[in-house]
Amino acid sequence: MERIGIIDIGSNSIRLVIIAIKANRAHHLIENLKRTVRLRSGVDQGGLLTQQGIDNAVETVALFAKFCQARQVKRIIAAATAAVRQAANAHVLVERIFQETGIQVQVLSGEEEAYLGYIGLVNSVTETTGLMADLGGGSLKLVGFVDRLNRHSVTLEFGAVSLMEKYSLSDLPQAENLQAFEAFLDESFSQIPWLAEYPRVIGIGGTFRSLARVYRNHVHYVPDLTDGITIPTAKVEELYHLLSTMPLEQRRQVPGLEQARADLIVTGLGIIYRLLKAARSPEVMVSASSIRDGLFFRYLYPRDPILFNVLTHHTNNLIEYHNLDENHLRRVSNLAVTLFDQLAPLHGLGSLERRLLLMASLLHELGVVVSVESLEKHTLYTVLNSRFLGLAHRERVLVAYLAASHDRPFRANLMDYVNHGPLVPEDLDLLKKLTPLLQVAHSLDRSRAGVVTHVKADLSPGRCELKVFGPRKRDLEISDASRHAPAFEQEYGVQLVVLPG
């Protein structure tokens, strides 16, 4: 198994991720470290990185290099962004890092940085069209994409750190400073005519992740996840105005806000809010992807780093990395969607619900990575919390509860996600409709021997006759599937009879 390290030298912080890669290219994030360095603040009036800033950055990279050595990392990829790119003495930092660690740092141009952020994003979300906003300490990268292809791109050479310093927004902001800050943003965004052409803004970077954490605490939102969360523009405005009335010490006590970002948060939220207004976007989706993901996918697939299908890739990756019984999972998913298609007159559901059933079928045993005891609980947790990219929160929660219910209904704390999360009351009925289909499909491969190859459902008034076909005896599977007949009848109002075909 290979391990690679990716070091991201940003304007606000330096990050290290370590990713384990198996021979089949299945991969798993095993380390994610961050050290706040504020390189952008370590720039003097002449545009030079200060000696202290350089020393801090070199010390951090050297520390990460030693950590990589201890974790048996054989290859390190390092890239620097706006603070280094904009410094006249960037070469001094790059040369010192190489001399002291042997690591060659690539200083990314604004276009390269935007492109890597775009790769990371389109490989992490199922949105095919949108406006990516990658907000760093020293720059803001905007990429408009259509059908997952880059159509517009611009890098603005300002970020949360640089504008915080320019307009003195670290502590309690003065009204005139806030007005000048907002006027500057509005003027900057007005120069980009294509901002409002995209249906949704998708934000990446530390400031967006901070927004997500503060928002979740502010409204008591569940699940406690950043990736895929959607925040209304009105809530961004509310939090921006709320935090801008607080002095720095009070902001440091705000639930969900990192101490190291308390001085930046007003500037960051101001940039996000004015961007949303300029783009006329009613909401922002936050993605946990980053240029580190772009660097990783470019390493993993150098010829073409854009994934063909995001959900398929991340689903297969989980199955293959954790050595799940892929043949069993594929058989169950095939049977489940076959039942879904044949029983369309009963459930009346569409393609979105079919996809949820397919995903739950493929992930219904993910909890075995914890334990087969209390598998339902562990499956719910692992589907909700694994680095499984591409699902919005409503979809992820529904898939998690459906997967956890593959043998019997599992509904622990479900109402929390209706009252404080992304589900709506109608989703309870949706889970009731889909659960019997997954349960029957799972039972039809109960022995994991593949004895059931296909099924045929015949519907008549008050009765569903399910004929089960296969080359060998299927008594165990028929008997186990029949266990779910009462639940099937309760939900669909027809008697389920499972017979050999």
pLDDT, tens digit, for every residue of 105-146? 999 999 999 999 999 999 999 899 999 999 999 999 999 999
pLDDT value of residue 38: 85
Do you know the residue count of the chain? 501
Identify the CATH assignment for 2-108 out of 3.30.70.1350, 3.30.420.40, 1.20.1260.10, 3.40.190.10. 3.30.420.40
How far is 24 from 19, CA to CA, in rounded Å? Answer: 14
Residue 44's pLDDT band (boundaries 50, 70, 90)?
Answer: low
Residues 260-288 pLDDT 10s: 899 999 999 999 999 999 999 999 999 99
Q: Global pTM?
A: 0.92
CA distances from 344 to 338, 462, 497 (A): 10, 15, 17
Mean pLDDT of the chain: 95
Residue 423 has pLDDT above 90, yes or no: yes
CA distances from 35 to 64, 123, 290, 327 (A): 10, 26, 16, 43
Answer for the pair 193, 352: CB distance below 8 angstroms, yes or no. Answer: no
Chain-centroid distance, C-alpha 140:
20
pLDDT value of residue 43: 66
Fold of 111-292: Nucleotidyltransferase; domain 5 (3.30.420)
How far is 420 from 414, CA to CA, in rounded Å? Answer: 10
pLDDT value of residue 1: 92
Answer for the pair 285, 127: CB distance below 8 angstroms, yes or no. Answer: yes
Residue 389 has pLDDT above 90, yes or no: no
Indicate left, alpha or beta for 12 from its phi (over 0: left) and psi (-120 to 50: alpha).
alpha
pLDDT value of residue 310: 92
Answer for the pair 8, 298: CB distance below 8 angstroms, yes or no. Answer: no
Fold of 310-449: Hypothetical protein af1432 (1.10.3210)
Q: What is the DSSP string of 351-394?
A: HHHHHHHHHHHHHTTGGGGT-STTHHHHHHHHHHHS--TT--HH
Element (H, E) at 104: none
- In the chain, domain spans: 2-108, 111-292, 310-449
CB burial of residue 400 (10 Å; 0-12, 13-18, 19+): buried
Determine the Cα angle at 417 with ends 400 and 259, to 5°.
Answer: 100
Residue 12's pLDDT band (boundaries 50, 70, 90)?
Answer: confident
Segment 462-472 mean pLDDT:
95
Residue that has been written with the tokens 């044949």 in this structure:
342
Residues 404-416 pLDDT 10s: 999 999 999 999 9
How far is 126 from 489, CA to CA, in rounded Å? Answer: 35
Better-scored residue on pLDDT, 386 or 66: 66
pLDDT value of residue 335: 98
**Residue 140 forms beta bridges with which residues?**
135, 156
Q: Which of 80, 70, 71, 76 is nearest to 30 (CA)?
A: 71
Chain-centroid distance, C-alpha 360:
18
pLDDT value of residue 45: 66
Answer for the pair 431, 398: CB distance below 8 angstroms, yes or no. Answer: yes
pLDDT value of residue 40: 75
> Are both 2-108 and 111-292 of the same fold?
yes
* C-beta neighbour count of 481 within 10 angstroms: 26
Residue 187 has pLDDT above 70, yes or no: yes
What phi and psi, each to the nearest 5 degrees, are found at residue 19? Answer: -125, 130
Pair of tokens at residue 217: 């605490």
